[in-house]
Structure 1
Amino acid sequence: MWLSLIPAAITIVLTFKTKKLIPSLFVGVLAGTFIKEGLLGGITAIGEYMMDAIADKESAYTLSFLIAFGSLAELIEMAGGISGFSEKISKWAKNERSILGWAWILSIITFFDSSFHTIAVGTVLTPSLDKVKGSKEKFAFILSVTSLQLILLIPIATAYLGYMVTLVANNIKGTGITENAYALFVKSVFWNLFSWIMIIIAIGVTLLGLGFENFKMGKSEAEKNEFTKGHIEKEELLGKSTEEYPKNSKNLIIPVSILLISTVFFFWWTGKDKATTFFGALSSAKFSVSIFSGIMLTLIVTTIYFMLQKISLAEIEAHIVKGGEKVLSMVIVLILSWALTSVTQDLGFNNLISKNLVRSIPRFLIPSIVFLISGIISYTIGSSWATWALMMPLAINFSMNSGINLPIMIGTVWAGGAVVDIISPLSAQMTDISYGNHLATSFPYLIIGVLSTTIAYIAVGFFT
């Protein structure tokens, strides 16, 4: 059973050393299959674990949703939706505080994916921030919080939702837990205390400043360049934004509205036969089917809408493919994360946490311990998704053996995995500052959030 710790440990150590998640996950899975099947058997088994992850119906829906979402985001950008909305916003963003406020307001139409939110809001507001000579470091911090932290608390129509519900569903199989995985997820949102606390801190920074940039930790050093000059030049050309069509804010607002409405509709449609009320139908819905149906309907309607604007079908097809390619790395991370979880469980990880071991830990400390372990792992390996995959089996096992409410333990895993996204490199990139500067200015507030969350989880352990 103790051998079941090796794949995860190898993944964590390699990611910490190399800062490369995909190779580290692959080596972790390979180590697990070697332990379980031997040298030659392990090489063939890694393919079996990955194919099993893809073949699982819920997982396939999640991967398909991500690819379709990447296509939708690319279509919106191509059609001038982001640049058009940026032009509208610039009329009202007159000072630093109003610009930071708009980062929150724009979450209403960009909440369904953290990367899309970061890119869209960064693109929309950075030019206005430059005009008023506002703090880019402060904007990067707000951008980080309004991306993942805020999105994790919205239990509908987000790119994360499919993966998170699937993860819960996969880990409660065979445990005797009969409650719907989506219902468990919705309840766990209230116990993601780290995201709630960071949102409160970020609101304080937005409205009051809270001494941001007066307290720095570490030096603002640029990241070491690991790529050839030719590679960098190629990436710069690929990443260069080209305005293909006139700016049109409706090309952002209308597709997002369709996505929201269609997703809610399909939640109701797939659950209406199991409940008598609207909200009862939502909680009984076929989750994966609903979000995939919503994104597909949105793509179809958006395609027709753009064609009516004289955008050619060939152009639309090219950007659908391009958008899908952009999320390929995320798809690979998910497949490897699921494979790592499966091989770890097959090696006896769930049996490692015995009732006696759990009961030897003071009950009131268990939520805070799981949160801190998850937070350390996420900060070390740099991935929320991989952290959630590694820690969810542990949290559910702790819940079953300690009697602590299951949504609380699930919430501690979401909270710990979200720690790393406070210092998102993408936020630094979109606000045009070095990652080192973003890290130095945001880290004190990250520490305050982690300490506050730990104390809060200790209190939860006392009173539940």
Structure 2
Amino acid sequence: MEGTIYSLIPAVLMLVLVLLTRKVILSLGIGIIIGAFMLTQMDIGAGLALIWSIFANIFVSEGSLNMGSIYLLSFLFLLGVTTAFMTASGGSKAFGRWAVERIRTRKGAGLVPSLLGIVIFIDDYFNALAVGQVARPVTDRHHLSRAKLAYYIDSTSAPITVISPISSWGAYIIGTIGSILAANEITQYQAFEAFVLMIPSNLYVFAALLLVFLTIYLRLDIGPMKVHEQRALETGELNNPEKGDVPGDLNDEFKDHDNGKISHLIWPIVALVAGTVVTMILTGIRNTEGSADILSIFANTNVNISLFIGGVISVLVGFVLYVSQPAPKSGIAVVFGHGLKAMLPAIYILIFAWMIGDIIGQLQTGEFLAQQFSQADFNMAYLPLIIFLLSGFMALSTGTSWGTFGIMLPIAGEIAAVSDPALLLPALSAVLAGSVFGDHCSPISDTTILSSTGAGSNHIDHVMTQLPYALIAAIAASIGYIILGLSGSVWLPLLLTLVIVVVIALSIHKFNPKISSKS
């Protein structure tokens, strides 16, 4: 069944179940079981053994610890503990009071995570988790739902990272482009120059970013998002109370300190940012052979260990600030324990997502889709559109942008180089755009999971509320890619894409009843 149309079954089944049941763990679990049994020809014993092996490989691989996943999971726990110390010390409450005096509207509160999401462009994981910690006290005070916050985080983190050359994504993409240019003997530009020239053709990214700010300015609450925003305004419930625990939410487990200061929130975050960025630079220099420039540093950096070290430093700073207060309201063990507990929902979802991603990889779902694409006969003018849609479906099914990059960039580059070299860069850019689009729609995407965690949102609520916005941006980008293929222009399709987003947003604003609020 590997590499055939049957390899789509676990991914499609999982997606359908998520939409029907809204239970992400159940849906992922069924997808894992079905996929494992398919790989073992329906042998129950062998299938169960395979599931256990895939789970164990998250922690131990080829006789040694799988430090990449262990570091990331540990960082999530550390982030929960940091958040608990910031909350228990009264830092989050103090920052909220300070922000309310200066940020007086819900629009202003929405701008905080959106602008921070653009400024913090080094890595999408770091972006998703750090922005949520800073923005949450502000958005909570203005009763923005956690689903809306998660949308702001997710729709700025990956889009800005994928077009930034000085980022973990940019460095990886530039390296891949270099090998594609060499393989196809293309010498008119180098990999870095090609990456920069590709940026205007990444139509989905610009559509998604523009839609974020239109959503803030016009208060576009579409579909399920309107329900969450209405509840937040009317009742103050930022999450659906019927959904139970959400990642990163402490649920008032302990009483925060009455004499907290803004510094009790700011310094742990500064420590997190500084510790992570410095470690990324140091690990990048250490892993680079020869002289190290900024691109080689970010190409060779170890993001997961950097996050872990930044998390450790942040916890230590938060701990020192908490114990230095007079008469803390809760014991250190209580704060520590509740911080760990708050991250368990995210840990469960991430582990299940990794497991089904492994199974989908073994079933060669991505390779099957790529093979069908490479064998298809179509008008080359529609190449960017087809690549965009296929990359989107592949990222949606597999839950990985990077995996889609690795499969689709070489294929798209080879087809364009042979058929129409003028479409080479737009074709590669369409892969990046489609991968981010599919990533935004996928419940098993790690960046989607971490955006939910950073925002303290129920994960499936985030997926369902972000979907309409992602589809709007994708529709506009699809029309832009048609124009790009037919005209050969770059700037006209980008302009048209943005105009379409504005027209759709204004139409929704005009005909969609508004939620009443004071700002």
Calculate the TM-score normalised by the size of structure 1: 0.70
Aligned pair partner of 2:374 in 342, 358, 374: 358
Aligned pair partner of 2:390 in 350, 370, 386: 370
Q: How does 1:274-285 map to 2 (within 5 A)?
A: 274=288, 275-277=291-293, 280-285=296-301
Aligned-partner residue type, residue 306 of structure 1? Y
* Distance in 2 between residues matched to 1:177 and 1:35, nearest whole Å: 38
Q: Check whether the contact 1:192–1:414 (CA below 8 A) recurs between aligned residues.
A: no
Shift of 1:101: 4.0
Instruction: Say whether residues 1:72 and 2:82 are aligned partners.
Output: yes
Q: Check whether the contact 1:74–1:323 (CA below 8 A) recurs between aligned residues.
A: yes
Aligned pair partner of 1:271 in 277, 281, 284: 284
Aligned pair partner of 1:30 in 20, 24, 33: 33
Question: Aligned residue for 1:244?
Answer: 256
Percent same amino acid among aligned pairs?
17
Q: How does 1:154-173 map to 2 (within 5 A)?
A: 155=161
Shift of 1:47: 0.7
Question: Aligned residue for 1:300?
Answer: 316
Aligned-partner residue type, residue 256 of structure 2? E
* Distance in 2 between residues matched to 1:313 and 1:18, nearest whole Å: 40
* Distance in 2 between residues matched to 1:60 and 1:285, nearest whole Å: 17
**CA deviation string 1:32-77 (max 9, x = no partner):** 2212221111112111111112323322222222222222222212
State the structure with bigger RCO (CA 8 A, min sep 6), 1 or 2: 1
Instruction: Say whether residues 1:388 and 2:393 are aligned partners.
Output: no
Shift of 1:123: 4.2
Instruction: Say whether residues 1:262 and 2:265 are aligned partners.
Output: no
Q: Check whether the contact 1:190–1:411 (CA below 8 A) recurs between aligned residues.
A: no
* Distance in 1 between residues matched to 2:467 and 2:305, nearest whole Å: 39
Q: Check whether the contact 2:114–2:153 (CA below 8 A) recurs between aligned residues.
A: no
**What's the secondary structure of 1:320's corresponding residue?**
helix
Q: Check whether the contact 2:385–2:478 (CA below 8 A) recurs between aligned residues.
A: no
Shift of 1:217: 5.7
Q: Check whether the contact 2:109–2:138 (CA below 8 A) recurs between aligned residues.
A: no
* Distance in 1 between residues matched to 2:359 and 2:260, nearest whole Å: 49
Aligned-partner residue type, residue 388 of structure 1? G
Shift of 1:357: 3.9
* Distance in 2 between residues matched to 1:443 and 1:347, nearest whole Å: 27
* Distance in 2 between residues matched to 1:313 and 1:444, nearest whole Å: 43
Q: How does 1:2-41 map to 2 (within 5 A)?
A: 2=4, 3-37=6-40, 38-41=43-46
Cα RMSD (Å) of the superposition?
A: 4.8
Distance of aligned partners of 1:298 and 1:459 in 2 relative to their CA distance in 1, 3 Å threshold: farther
Instruction: Say whether residues 1:414 and 2:436 are aligned partners.
Output: yes
Q: Relative to structure 2, which stretch is displaced further, 366-375 or 332-341?
A: 366-375
Question: Aligned residue for 1:381?
Answer: none
**CA deviation string 1:194-244 (max 9, x = no partner):** 45323223324545x3x846xx66997799xxxxxxx96997997247542
Q: How does 1:38-437 map to 2 (within 5 A)?
A: 38-55=43-60, 56-95=66-105, 97-102=107-112, 104=114, 112=126, 114=128, 117=131, 121=135, 123-127=137-141, 129=142, 141=148, 143-153=149-159, 155=161, 193-207=203-217, 209=218, 212=220, 239-240=251-252, 243-245=255-257, 246-273=259-286, 274=288, 275-277=291-293, 280-310=296-326, 315-353=331-369, 355=371, 357-360=373-376, 362=380, 363-370=383-390, 372-373=392-393, 377=396, 388-389=399-400, 393=403, 396-403=406-413, 409-419=431-441
Question: Aligned residue for 2:187?
Answer: none
Q: Relative to structure 2, which stretch is displaced further, 444-453 or 307-316?
A: 307-316
Shift of 1:7: 1.7
Shift of 1:299: 1.7
**What's the secondary structure of 1:342's corresponding residue?**
helix
Aligned-partner residue type, residue 52 of structure 1? N
Distance of aligned partners of 1:109 and 1:217 in 2 relative to their CA distance in 1, 3 Å threshold: closer
Distance of aligned partners of 1:335 and 1:311 in 2 relative to their CA distance in 1, 3 Å threshold: farther
Q: How many corresponding residue pairs?
A: 411
Q: Relative to structure 2, which stretch is displaced further, 50-59 or 102-111?
A: 102-111
Aligned-partner residue type, residue 10 of structure 1? L
* Distance in 2 between residues matched to 1:418 and 1:202, nearest whole Å: 13
Q: Check whether the contact 2:214–2:220 (CA below 8 A) recurs between aligned residues.
A: no
Aligned-partner residue type, residue 49 of structure 1? I
Structure 1 unmatched runs, 5+ = 131-135, 224-230, 378-385
**What's the secondary structure of 1:239's corresponding residue?**
coil
Shift of 1:303: 1.9
Distance of aligned partners of 1:114 and 1:266 in 2 relative to their CA distance in 1, 3 Å threshold: closer
Calculate the TM-score normalised by the size of structure 2: 0.64
Distance of aligned partners of 1:297 and 1:340 in 2 relative to their CA distance in 1, 3 Å threshold: same
* Distance in 2 between residues matched to 1:348 and 1:197, nearest whole Å: 31
Shift of 1:103: 5.2
* Distance in 2 between residues matched to 1:196 and 1:311, nearest whole Å: 50
* Distance in 2 between residues matched to 1:45 and 1:330, nearest whole Å: 23
Aligned-partner residue type, residue 138 of structure 2? V
